[in-house]
Structure 1
């Protein structure tokens, strides 16, 4: 053996291997432990951003409804507190975090001086110093502090709307949206011109084109055009009761008369009607004595929703035959009838209202029955598009904007 060469004994090799394996295992355990904290932080970052988004939207809605900046700031903070107290969000505790709520008339400028409540208002909510519990990160002297922000405010106006039926209702007298109360029943198309606030000759129909077939198809949902609600709508005098009923009743899987088909105009997914239909007396008052709804109340939109999304097994269900959900929801212009004089008239649109069509429409005028709808909501904003410069007239919605001072929102 060459005595000038060194060799490491097998025993010493085993000792070195043990050291290397131990070091590798410690490194792997450390990475695995740290990954728990990283994943925890990433999960809560998303939850924090969602919470801040909701708070900014809440503040912007208060501003849009005429509230003060103080009220809007309170709404934002209340939203965060309520999210933290919700089931499954026990860790979302904002008591130790710093919450800043700012307001601007320009979504691209925060902070903003000279805020004017008469102009479009935008809210920015920023949360910083949001501290999370550590699992193993403290070993490396790492503190998990998160921050997030969001900006919300009105979108630009969108004046062109589609999916509107050629029926209009005058601004109501109730205390709700545009004079209509959610859940209440209203006459959408009258059979007696003397009951219409639009003046003699009008039955609340709009002129989307002449001819019975045009009226029939438009009320079945076949009007493909868009209307500009900043422009007046024109009434269509005359009852036209047959085509009106034939078009509307396709939504109830009724294709008798008119030549319309379920291929072009599918029915609603659920076509049930109340056991006792609503009636309109000579004075224009609605009588609705049905008790077939939930809890013995009058059957309506809430019962319709309760039957969805799967009403299989119910004789009024049209899932298997291609029925479409919400075909019974009608988008109807709400107009200012203060200048009504009768005949062909032009009325300004003040909003769009969504009504749930309660029952089939009459196809003859023998009983002078109306078309009835339950008011669901103001659906003016359903076509809004996020952007800026929403001061122009027209519908809009409250949306989220990119925060000029943030990286994620």
Structure 2
């Protein structure tokens, strides 16, 4: 009897110990489950924060590349983040304005050195200490906070461009000390000639390219609707004929002129600033461009800044940069006229100085000022950085966080 009572007491102690152990294990499981829920939520919130700073950095970099001030770019970045987190699905995240930091640099890998706004600009947008909702961690005395950052800016020179215009200029095969393939910056050139005998492409050519389209497509492509691509290591084919009407109707949408029909403001909005020079450029009897240089791209950049939010005078509610044309630059050596296949050397950037003629009575060409660089909406980049030619705005790996 004594042994039986001892055995019963021992079993009772074991049951009590087992209950304690099970309770402890359940508590541990609950803690891990709580951590799992909150950690997964934190990762989701981190993704949302990263998407926000990515969009903000890209938006700010686009503003800078379009000639806007750093202050405007900074305001754009902050507004983008604010808009992101008032959208459906993101409202549980609230980013305090004091948590947003916007930095500018001339090097995407160094935001601590001196900065010159006149050079290529890269934008870093970061958020820190953003409070995140906690489901269970708060019961254990823990708070959740998120952070994210992104860097955006101009890419290396594009080698495969997908939104060029179907016009071409004859270029040298090499660049000199003060020019790019024979074209001097801040100089006005004739991008499409009015006299078929004055072009190096030979008789019958007016510097148009054949992108496999008729007059209606030429009009749309010059308005900005070409979705094909050109490879600067390949060739292009000339399109004989003047196509004066379609050319003028397409290009002049960039000035808000849709009188020729066939294209609409909804599809092809004007530039934000449509001013033309008081004295228009022209070509003399010897084929030389005549222009007094009283108003040029630098003036456009300065004056168009005042168009932000304004629709009056020469300011519109259009899109910035519509007057910047990515124009193929070809090697015309050996061109014989008619339909000709020419080597593509590069894509140059020209500022559309004035409206193009849109009727056969006009004897003027299309005039543009050669500028250093410009953005395109799509294309693949090479491996060699360059301050000349076309580029696109892209995200870079953030050296301070490893994100993007």
Please tell me the TM-score bracket, short chain as reference.
0.5 to 0.7
Q: Where does residue 259 of structure 1 map in the other structure? A: 262
Structure 1 residues 395 and 287 mapped into 2: Cα distance closer, same or farther (>3 Å)?
closer
| Deviation at residue 302 of structure 1 after TM alignment | 1.1
| Deviation at residue 407 of structure 1 after TM alignment | 9.3
| Deviation at residue 286 of structure 1 after TM alignment | 1.2
Between the aligned partners of 1:270 and 1:328, the Cα distance in structure 2 is 9
Between the aligned partners of 2:186 and 2:384, the Cα distance in structure 1 is 34
Q: Choose 297-306 or 307-316, whichever is displaced more.
A: 307-316
Contact 2:258 2:265 in 1 (8 A): yes
After TM superposition, list the pairs within 5 Å mapping 1:330-341 onto structure 2.
330-341=325-336
Structure 1 residues 177 and 261 mapped into 2: Cα distance closer, same or farther (>3 Å)?
same
Q: Where does residue 167 of structure 1 map in the other structure? A: 167
| Deviation at residue 364 of structure 1 after TM alignment | 2.1
Q: Where does residue 271 of structure 2 map in the other structure? A: 268
Between the aligned partners of 2:343 and 2:217, the Cα distance in structure 1 is 23
Between the aligned partners of 2:171 and 2:107, the Cα distance in structure 1 is 37
| Deviation at residue 346 of structure 1 after TM alignment | 0.8
Residue among 295, 301, 314 paired with 1:305: 301
Count of equivalent residues = 259
Q: Secondary structure of the equivalent of 1:348? A: strand
| Deviation at residue 309 of structure 1 after TM alignment | 3.1
Structure 2: gaps of 5 or more residues = 1-101, 117-154
Q: Where does residue 76 of structure 1 map in the other structure? A: none
| Deviation at residue 331 of structure 1 after TM alignment | 0.5
| Deviation at residue 386 of structure 1 after TM alignment | 7.2
Structure 1: gaps of 5 or more residues = 1-45, 56-78, 87-154, 290-296
Between the aligned partners of 2:304 and 2:380, the Cα distance in structure 1 is 29
Structure 1 residues 336 and 275 mapped into 2: Cα distance closer, same or farther (>3 Å)?
same
Q: Where does residue 369 of structure 2 map in the other structure? A: 374
Matched, 1:243 2:252: no
After TM superposition, list the pairs within 5 Å mapping 1:168-187 onto structure 2.
168-171=168-171, 175-187=178-190
Contact 2:162 2:379 in 1 (8 A): no
Structure 1 residues 306 and 346 mapped into 2: Cα distance closer, same or farther (>3 Å)?
same
| Deviation at residue 226 of structure 1 after TM alignment | 1.8
Q: Where does residue 211 of structure 1 map in the other structure? A: 214
Structure 1 residues 379 and 266 mapped into 2: Cα distance closer, same or farther (>3 Å)?
closer
| Deviation at residue 229 of structure 1 after TM alignment | 2.7
Q: Secondary structure of the equivalent of 1:225? A: coil
Between the aligned partners of 1:252 and 1:286, the Cα distance in structure 2 is 22
Between the aligned partners of 1:161 and 1:333, the Cα distance in structure 2 is 10
Structure 1 residues 198 and 324 mapped into 2: Cα distance closer, same or farther (>3 Å)?
same
After TM superposition, list the pairs within 5 Å mapping 1:5-404 onto structure 2.
53=109, 83=114, 159-171=159-171, 175-289=178-292, 298-311=294-307, 312=310, 314-319=312-317, 323-379=318-374
* Deviations, residues 204-243 of structure 1 (Å, cap 9, x unaligned): 0000123211111111111122223322000000111111
| Deviation at residue 53 of structure 1 after TM alignment | 3.3
Between the aligned partners of 2:382 and 2:350, the Cα distance in structure 1 is 28
Q: Scaled by the length of structure 2, what TM-score is found?
A: 0.55
Contact 2:235 2:341 in 1 (8 A): yes
